[in-house]
Structure 1
Amino acid sequence: MEEVTSALNAHIDQMADLVEKVSAELRAGFTPAYNNFMGFFHAIDWKEPWLVGLLTFHVLLLLVVIFSRKNINFQMCLFLFALVGVYLAERLNVILADNWKSFATQNYFDPHGLFLSVLWSGPLLVIAIVILINTLFSLCYLIVRWKRAELRHRAREARNKQD
């Protein structure tokens, strides 16, 4: 019995060490990403009017998507609008990089388009995903309605045959 207890204790110690090592690696793994994000966040002057306007645009677009969730055709137009906006992000980045002095205090538009990807394409993709999820729920609701109508129709036909 002592052998089993000592083996169990050794196993528990080994598992505790393994969990501690994984935990330490995860904490160390997220620290550089967190530091990079905070550096990106603090490098931006969030009080610039064009940035406030951009963020306001995204919030208003999201509110329009939420309040128009019952109108599937309008939602599809918004979905296409969001995806076209993402598609044109590269061209937009080039145009904004050439003209940044006319509206910004510093050049945020790097050649790789990271800034525009985060603040333009990212929110548009999130909005597109919200529209897509809403569309899937609407389609599921329509399928259920259609199936109920089909079952009612079959029941009516069966009653008519019996009469």
Structure 2
Amino acid sequence: MLMEPWLIGMISFHAILLLVTIISRRNINFQLILSALTFSGVFLAEKLNTFLGQNWKSFSSQNYFDPQGLFISVMWSGPLLLITILILVNTLVTLCMLMVRWKRAELKHRAREARSKQE
């Protein structure tokens, strides 16, 4: 059984998006934009399902787009939500590390102040 070219393209898109997410994990601003785009993709899934369901004959051998939207949810929204969760976890880890660094700097500053007052 051969896969449809558009399905291969969609899976490739998700793989590239995951790779970009992993590579850009240190750039929080870029990841914020990326998460907004992935959320937009999930938000537009219902409209995309309707549009693709009406025009499936032009690009596919069969209609995958049921009115309930199960296929689009599993194949489109699911991977986008997983990538968004990955971005969220990365952001939380980065924020925790930043808070630890800030607290250490604060404690060092207080220790220096205490030493200077004793002298």
Instruction: Give the TM bin, normalised by the shorter chain.
Output: over 0.9
Instruction: Report the 3-state secondary structure (helix = DSSP H, G, I; strand = E; otherwise coil) of the residue aligned with 2:68.
Output: coil
TM-score normalised by L of structure 1: 0.71
Determine if contact 1:46/1:52 at 8 Å carries over to the other structure: no
Letter in 2 for 1:136: L
Q: In structure 2, how many angstroms separate the alpha carbons of the residues matched to 1:94 and 1:103?
A: 15
| Unpaired segments ≥5 residues, structure 2 | none
% identical aligned pairs: 65
State the match for 1:62 in structure 2: 18
State the match for 2:39 in structure 1: 83
Deviation of 1:162 after TM superposition, in Å, equals 1.1
Aligned residues: 119
TM-score normalised by L of structure 2: 0.97
Letter in 1 for 2:56: W
Q: In structure 1, how many angstroms separate the alpha carbons of the residues matched to 2:2 and 2:15?
A: 15
| Unpaired segments ≥5 residues, structure 1 | 1-44
Instruction: Report the 3-state secondary structure (helix = DSSP H, G, I; strand = E; otherwise coil) of the residue aligned with 1:107.
Output: coil
Higher relative contact order (CA 8 A, sep 6+): 2
Higher Rg? 1
Give CA deviations for 1:37-89 in whole Å, capped at 9, x if unaligned.
xxxxxxxx661110000000000000000010000010111111111110110
Determine if contact 1:79/1:128 at 8 Å carries over to the other structure: yes
The question of 1:48 aligning with 2:4 is answered yes
State the match for 1:129 in structure 2: 85
Runs of 4+ in 1 over 3 A off after TM superposition: none
Q: In structure 2, how many angstroms separate the alpha carbons of the residues matched to 1:69 and 1:145?
A: 19
